[in-house]
Amino acid sequence: MLWPWQKKPVSPQDYIADRQRDLPPIYYKADGGQQLFAGLTLRLPPDVRKLYESGVIAGGEVGEMAAEARMKELDGGKYAIEFFSGLMRLFYSCSRIIGARSTVHTRPPTKDASGTLVEPPDSVVKPSVTDADSAQLMAMLFRGYQRTGIAGVQEFPIHAEQMRIADMFAREAEIFIIAHESGHAWKRASRKPISIDPGTNEEIVADALAGTWFLEHLANPAPGLSPRMMYAGSEMALRIFSSMERIGIKFCGTHPPAGKRLEAFRALARKLCPSEADYMSLSTIAMASDQLWDHVEAILMAQNGEVAAVELTPDWLESTLIVLVQETLSATMTLGSAVEEAQSIIKDASEPVAVEATRRVRGFFAAQPAAAAILENLLSSTSKGT
């Protein structure tokens, strides 16, 4: 037998291997999650990546069914990050709903004989679930989790292209959570001063570190990285936590509330983007699910007997109109479908929201005549906000 002082400190790799022996990984069976963590290190700045390369931090999937991830500080200034299978499962269930409600264009429009852009036949995958049904499905998923402690399997049909989108969302959400846990570890390991208010809550600091590392890719993303997708996955993770808090489920004793974390995360991203146009471009994919999440939270609150008002926000309307114009401009969408889409979303907005969003989008495209012309085309189809 060895006396305690004769024992060598456990390395994070050994710690994770031990945990995985007791609780084998469920989703990353082949490598225990090494590929997932490699995906993170690809996104990290060199000084943080070094902590992984030198074995100061290591992590992997642990087959616990609770929806959690945690960082454990080991002796000798080493850190182990455990990603529980239950949180992966929760992310997969949610992202499947987000994928299924997406419209996917499998090929860009082509020009017909007269030179007009048309959608090639069978190139558009329509949503497999309506917006209203997807909000209900998500709310049911969270209620089910509340009852059983496990995210239910989602059985509704989904197209392979939508599933591909779902997988990207889930993967980026996972990577954001590992980055968050790495943020806790990095802060302790490096003891470097950080440019975040000293009084800020630890959870918000860890989110901010993850966000700052990711957004370093904005100007010059490494091959295969999409800052938009990274941002959308991060928001999805925070949105899931914030929805589930509505029904009293806490994550890692989160305090402050996840809703505050989302707010702080958005404010940080806005600040780190060189311009409003950059933020709009970064948040496009995330914003496409914004209404869904508001709707889910409203359903959950209504079930609690609380009153929730779901209203289209100027942020969302602004972002959506910008996307419609840009997609028309880059010919990934026909003007006809853009007009139709613009009509249907503006119809649902209140007059003040439509007015505010229209004002912002006009400002946004003020210096781009071609885009401004498309915008006026979209707006001419409706009397609201113009």
Tell me which residues touch Zn ion (CB under 5 A).
Answer: 203, 206
- Of 251 and 365, which CB lies nearer to Zn ion in the complex structure? 251
Chain-centre distance for alpha carbon 282: 11
Least spacing, CB of residue 251 vs Zn ion, in Å: 9
Q: How far is the CB of 175 from Zn ion (least distance, A)?
A: 15
Q: How far is CA 80 from the centre of its chain?
A: 24
Q: Are 301 and 246 in contact (CB under 8 A)?
A: yes
Alpha carbon distance 11, 190 (integer Å): 18
Least Å distance between CB 206 and Zn ion?
Answer: 5
Report the distance separating Cα 253 and Cα 276, nearest Å.
Answer: 34
Nearer to Zn ion, 206 or 361 (CB): 206
Smallest separation (angstroms) from Zn ion to the CB of 311:
31
Residues recorded for the chain: 386
Q: Which is nearer to Zn ion, 198 or 253 (CB)?
A: 253
CB nearer to Zn ion: pick between 165 and 258: 258
Residues in contact with 37: Cβ distance below 8 Å, sequence separation at least 6, in sequence order: 52, 58, 59, 60, 81, 178
3-state SS class at 208: helix
Sign of the alpha-carbon dihedral angle for 127, 131, 137, 142: positive
> Minimum distance between the CB of residue 180 and Zn ion, rounded to whole angstroms?
6
Of the two residues 258 and 322, which places its CB atom closer to Zn ion in the complex?
258
Q: How far is the CB of 204 from Zn ion (least distance, A)?
A: 9
Closer residue to Zn ion (CB): 203 or 327 = 203
Map tokens 């989904």 to a residue: 158
Q: What are the structure tokens assigned to 206, written together?
A: 């860890």
Q: Are strands 57-62 and 78-84 parallel, antiparallel or unpaired?
A: parallel
Residues 94 and 141: beta-carbon distance below 8 Å = yes
